[in-house]
Every structure is written in C-alpha cells, then in structure tokens.
Amino acid sequence: MTARTAPYVPTSEAPAAVAVARVPRLRPLTVFTIAAVLALFAIVFARVSLDKSAFELQRIEQEIAVEQARLAELRVEVARLRDPARIERVATEMGLVFPDERIPLRVEGRPLQGTP
Amino acid sequence: MRRPAWRWHDLRVVVLGLAFAAAWAGIGVRIYQVQAVDAARFAQRGFDQRVRHEVIPAPRGTIYARDGVELAISVAGADLVADPSIVDDAEEVASLLDPLLELDAAEIVERLEGDGRYARLARGLEPDAVEELEALIDGRELLGLTLVPRAVRVYPSGPLAAQVVGLTRLDTGAGIEGLEASLDDVLAGQDGRRIVERDPGGRVIPQGRLLVDPAVPGADVVTTLDRRIQYAAEQAISAAVERTGANWGTVVVLDPDTGEVLAMASAPGFDPNDRDALDPDAVVNRAVAEVYEPGSTLKVVTIAAALEEGLVAPSTELEVPQRIVIEPKEYTDPSDHPSTMTVAEIVERSSNVGTILVQRMLGNERHYRYLDAFGLGRRAAIDFPGERSGHLEHVSAWCRSTCGPSAAIGYGVSVTPLQMAALYATIANDGEWVEPHVVAEIVEADGRRIVTEPRRRRVLAPETARLLRSMLERVVEGGTGTRARVEGFTVAGKTGTTEKYLPDEQTYSTEDRIASFVGMAPAGDPEIVVAVVLDSPKGVLEDGTELKYGGASAAPVFAEVALAVLNDLGIPPDRPGVDGDG
C-alpha cells in the first residue's frame, strides 16, 4: 500500500482564500423593486407638483379675474369723473362762469393760428 | 375509545364561522357587482356628478368716444334674489335693504312675503352695491338672500349720446337700440365653453379640466363722437326744446372733410342707467329716424344745380313776381321783395318764386339728378340703426306741373336731419360728398383694427361750392338767418320752415311747423357743419318774430353749438374787424 500525498505547494504560492473581497451582487428582483419604488415616488412627486401648480394657476386666474373686474370699475369711475355734465356742475359750484365777452386778439405780423 | 361529545362552544364557533363566511361572501358579491358587473354604470354616475358643462360668457366690447373715454362698458355686477320661504323676518330684512336698493321698504316686504321660492329684489347691481350687499348679508347672516353674478352694462356718462350709443336688454345683455343694437354681433363676442370636474362644494378639481374652449371677447367700438361737443349740442337742443315748447329737437355736427359725426343729439333725452324712468319716445335717435320736408334748406340744391350747369351765376338777375301759379297750386313769397333780384338775393331772401323760376330753367331731369347725387332718398350713413332713407320719387314718376317746383322749395321730398347735414357738408367740402359715419374703428379682441373708410363722390365743382358758400354767407349776414351769426366767425347757412305734414290726416298742419337751420363755419373754409331741426316750436320773440320760423328758433341753436364747437376745436376767428377791440 502506497500512501498518496498531496503535491507540495510552497506556502507562499498557496491561494489567498481570505483576502478576496466579495462584490455584492444585486438580484434583478431587488433592482426592479427599487426602481419601481423610485418611479412611484417620482410619480407621486410629479402629481403633487402638478396639483400645486394647478392650485397656483387657479389662484392666479382668480386674481386676474378680480383685477380685471377692478380695472373695469376704475375705468367706469374715471369715465364718470370725466363726464362733461359733472365737470360743469363742479365748476359751477366752484364759482366758475362762462366769459361774458369773447375778445380775440390778433398779434400784428403773425398769422392767425391756435386757440383764440 | 369514545368520540368526544359535541359541545356547545363548538357549535357556536361553527355558526360564527359560517356567519363570517356569509358576510365575507356578501361583501365579495357586492364588490364583484360594483367593480365588475355595474362598474361602467357607477363610473359614469360619478363622472356625471363631477363633470359640469359650463358656458363661459364672452365679455361685451366697450363703446368709446373719440378721446378714448368709455361711453358704454360692462362690469361684474349681480342680481339680488330672495327665497321668501327661507327669509325669517321680512320687515327687518326690508329695513336693512331699503337704503341700498331702489325699491322702498314696503315693496321689498311685499316681495319677501310673496308666494313661491323666488323673488327678484334688484337687477343689474353695480360692483359697489354688490360689495355693500355682500357685507350686509354675511355680516347679519341674512338667510334666503342670494347675489347672482352677472355682467352689467354701465353708461358712465349717463344721458350723454344715449340715443346714439343705445341700450342693451337687462336680462340677456343683447343690444336693443342704437349702436348696441346695430353692432350687437361685433360687441357681443362669442361665448366659450368649458367641461370641468368640480367637487361637491363646486370647486374646480385641479387637473380636472377636460376641455376649455375660451370665449372670444367682443370687439371694442371707437366712435367719432366728441364728448364735449356732444354735451354742448345736447345742452343747446334741450334748452331750445324747453324754450320753444317743441315736440322734439335734434342737432347734428359733422366734420365735412372726413364725414365724421362729432355730435348727434336729440331732445328729450334719457339716461340709459335709469330704466324705470325710460320714455320710449326719448330713445329715438331723431337725427336719423325722423323724416321731414326740408323746405327752404333744400333750395340750395336747385341753385347749386343751376350754377353747376352754367345756367345762372350769383349775379344773374331775374324778374321775380310775388306769386306764381302753376296749376293747381299757387306759390307765394312770404315777404315783399323787389321785382328784380339776383340769384344771390333769391337765396338771401329765401324766395320761393325765384327758386321755382331757376328750377324751371333747370328742368326736372337735371334737378332730380342733383337731388340724387346729394344722397337724398337713400340712407346717408354707414352704421346707424333705425336710419330712414327719406323719400325722393324717381323723376319718371314726377307729375308734369308741380312736382319739380315743389321739390325746388323743399316739398314733396322727405329727408332726415343727417341727410341735410351731409348735403351741406358737400358744399362745405368743396363739392365732394363724404359718407357720414359715427364709428371711427372697430378694435377686435386680438388687436386687429377695422377702420371705417367712408365713400366719397364728387357732386359739384369746387368753384360752384365756393360760390354757394358766399351766397349762403349772405343769408346769415343780412337774410333770414341773422340769428345764426357767431361772434368772430363767418357763417354760411340756410333757414327752413315747412308746414308739418300730418300722415294720419294726410294733410298739412295749419299751425305746426318744422323749423330748421343748416350751416357751416368758418364760411371760407368750413371746419364744421351743424344741422338743427325743431318739431313744432311755438311762441313769439320780444321783437314779435314767431318761433315757428327756422330763423327764429333753430338758427340761435346753431349759433350756440357752432361757437362751442369752434372753441373746442381751437379754430381761430376769421371774421374781419375782430382784432383788438373785440
């Protein structure tokens, strides 16, 4: 009977079983799950942003409508203030009167132009 | 070995299990029914509850004066309505609303105590009033009162140019008179539509808009009216109607170069903001809706035609008798005059007989041709609602004897005041007729501008028009129109007084007259034409002149309006001898 022995391998050449670091391997299912969760968050975020924008848009539209209504009111007020009947009434109250006599003056040597 | 005996608690467990199973089965069946069998139906019901089909009302366009001031504008107002079945204390509510509404407290109580569930307390409230009412309703927690939002048409200057601008219906907002009616399609715009999802509170669900087809706002209308001139004209004609007791009066002010209507006033007038006091007769725009026989103011066409045809000159002398008989009529001159007169004197003295003699030289055919060229018998303007065309019979239908002579002195032909203004504007504009118009431009919502381009046509040679003006100037200087004089300015014009035709009786009134004056200033190069017409003025002036004559009642109105217009436009005086000493 002969004894079989393992071939001699110098210690320095032996494989370093302990030193090899293991790269973590992600399984496809995990990747898919993470992606799905991220996508879900993205969708929710987008949806919330859109909702916020929609609310903002609504608010701005209401503001525009209010301001437009205000503008129309102010235009009415200005037109009323510029009403000739009102101006005449106010002028009369202030004691203004139409001139009794019109005296157009002509400056010699100059052509007639402009308001007399 | 013995089987264990049934125990009560085992039975209860079984029963409970069966009950749970049945309950879950029921829920499952219901879920299946809702989610599978009737899913489409329930989805549709939910959709129908959320989704609203809404009309987006188009804002109505604004009507402006030529200086850009609003004559008619829409604002966000409201109607105040009540549900009488909910109102707690009608008398208390009425006392609170009384100071804010036009209705008095008793009427408010009557409406609040009425049957039914709807009572309108106010229509077309303006924003200020709406704000006050909102504060009152919220502050006092008044039940049963609601403000229903709606656009309200406001006329900021009230009666100013009311007959031209017109009116809209209070309920639908559609135009029913004036420019509001004639340009309703333009002003109204196009309503939009919107399909949106709303929550039970009526709020729009964000991103719930399914469709928005925006409204197209109505176009704005810029008129040619000058507010200050319009005001002066309205004041003058209202005072004249009051002074003379006339049925109505009207004034038209035209820019002869452009055909722009600077003012168009009728009295009595109305305030479109006050519908309760509205008099239907006052709404009529007399300047375009009334037809009358122009009388002596039409003599100018006969003379113009004879001058243009080279038949006479202003200095041509004619033997003019005091009366002339053309069977079956006799035509007379109202005042004595020399037996020989020049054509210029015929115009100055407004001689009927002299004008008829000129017309006989002219002949019916040529006379008609000029009447037609001056635009009589057809509508004068581009854009006036309710404008009448007047009446000018075609010459082929004229009788052989009196039709021509009658037309020469302004009978048998009917015109509107605007037509007469346009006729004299032709003379003022060196013989070129320009279509009168009141709309300067229409500004679409997208900013596109549609500018009015009036038609033009030459009727007389410039020299003929100048000769006519000098003859018409004599009418004001020393003829029948002396009361039309304007200090500092030369004026050319013609008076007119016609017996009023009574259509119902088919005869002429023995008492009532249509008095008119149409003129221009400055006579040398006219900047304005003013036509004044009064229906049945009465009374006597201090010097004994009856106000039924155009020279007595209408000419002073011309003078008043012309002075205001010339001052407003900054036209320098042209009358000799006014410098320095006044």
ipTM: 0.78
Q: Which residue of A has its CA nearest to B126?
A: A73
CA distance A35 to chain B (A): 27
Distance CA B72, CA B64 (A): 7
CATH 3.30.70.2110 residue ranges in chain B? 76-151
Contact A114 B160 (CB under 8 A): no
With residue B167 as reference, give the H or E element that holds it. Answer: strand B167-168
Chain B positions contacting chain A at CB under 8 Å are 69-71, 73-76, 126-128, 154, 156-160, 204, 206-207, 227-228, 230-231, 487-488, 567, 570, 572-574, 578-580, 582
Distance CA B470, CA B490 (A): 10
pLDDT number for residue B199? 82
Confidence at A1, pLDDT banded by 50, 70, 90: very low
Q: Which residue of B has its CA nearest to A48?
A: B206
Neighbours of B29 (CB within 10 A): 11
Distance CA A50, CA A63 (A): 19
Distance CA B553, CA B481 (A): 10
Contacts of B126 in chain A (CB under 8 A): 76
Distance CA B56, CA A1 (A): 108
Contact B450, B441 (CB under 8 A): yes
DSSP β-bridge partners for residue B190? B216
CA distance B167 to chain A (A): 17
pLDDT number for residue B2? 61
Residues 19-58 of A with CB under 8 A from B: 50-51, 54-55, 58
With residue B514 as reference, give the H or E element that holds it. Answer: strand B507-521
Contact B573 A112 (CB under 8 A): yes
CATH 3.40.710.10 residue ranges in chain B? 227-569
Contact A83 B160 (CB under 8 A): yes
Task: Supply angle C-alpha B407, B499, B511, rounded to 5.
Answer: 170
Catalytically active residues of B, by annotation: 296
pLDDT number for residue A113? 52
Of B128, B160, B204, the CB nearest to A84: B160
Of B75, B160, B580, the CB nearest to A73: B75
* Burial track A13-45 (b if 16+ CB lie within 10 A, e otherwise): eeeeeeeeeeeeeeeeeeeeeeeeeeeeeeeee
Q: What phi and psi values does residue B209 have, to the nearest 5 degrees?
A: -80, 125
A102: contact with B, CB 8 A cutoff: yes
Arithmetic mean of pLDDT over chain A: 79
pLDDT number for residue A116? 38
pLDDT number for residue B275? 86
Distance CA B14, CA B96 (A): 71
Counting beta carbons within 10 angstroms of the beta carbon of residue B476, is it exposed (0 to 12), middle (13 to 18) or buried (19 or more)? buried
Nearest to B187 by CA among B308, B67, B61: B61
Is 2.60.40.420 the CATH classification of the domain at B76-151? no
Distance CA B302, CA B369 (A): 11
Task: Supply angle C-alpha A54, A57, A63, rounded to 5.
Answer: 145
pLDDT number for residue A114? 46
DSSP β-bridge partners for residue B330? B325
Given the candidates 3.30.450.190, 3.40.50.720, 3.40.710.10, 3.40.50.2000, the CATH classification of the domain at B227-569 is: 3.40.710.10
CA distance B266 to chain A (A): 16
A83: contact with B, CB 8 A cutoff: yes
Mean pLDDT by 10 residues, chain B (582 residues): 68 91 96 93 87 90 96 93 88 89 87 88 89 90 90 94 94 92 95 87 75 92 97 97 96 97 96 89 94 95 97 96 92 91 95 96 96 92 81 93 94 95 97 96 95 95 97 94 94 94 88 96 96 96 91 97 94 68 34
pLDDT number for residue B503? 83
pLDDT number for residue A4? 57
Q: Which residue of A has its CA nearest to B150?
A: A69
Token pair listed for B437: 């118009």
Distance CA B432, CA B142 (A): 67
Pick from B60, B69, B231, B566 the residue to mutate for testing the A interface (most A CBs within 10 Å): B69
Residue A3 vs residue B86, higher pLDDT: B86
Q: Would you list the domain boundaries of chain A?
A: 28-93
A61: contact with B, CB 8 A cutoff: no
Distance CA B432, CA B257 (A): 9
Q: Which residue of A has its CA nearest to B567?
A: A115
**Three-state DSSP class for B87?**
coil
In this predicted model, what pLDDT tens digit does every residue of A67-116 receive, in sequence order?
Answer: 999 999 999 999 999 999 999 999 999 999 876 656 666 677 765 554 43
pLDDT number for residue A17? 55
Contacts of B204 in chain A (CB under 8 A): 58
A99: contact with B, CB 8 A cutoff: no
Of A58, A102, A115, the CB nearest to B488: A102
Give the C-alpha distances (Å, rounded to integers) separating B54 from A103, B204, B435. 65, 12, 44
Beta strands B220-223 and B63-64, pairing class = parallel
Of B69, B76, B160, the CB nearest to A72: B76
Contact B162, B269 (CB under 8 A): yes
| HSE toward the beta carbon, residue B183, CA cutoff 13 A | 28
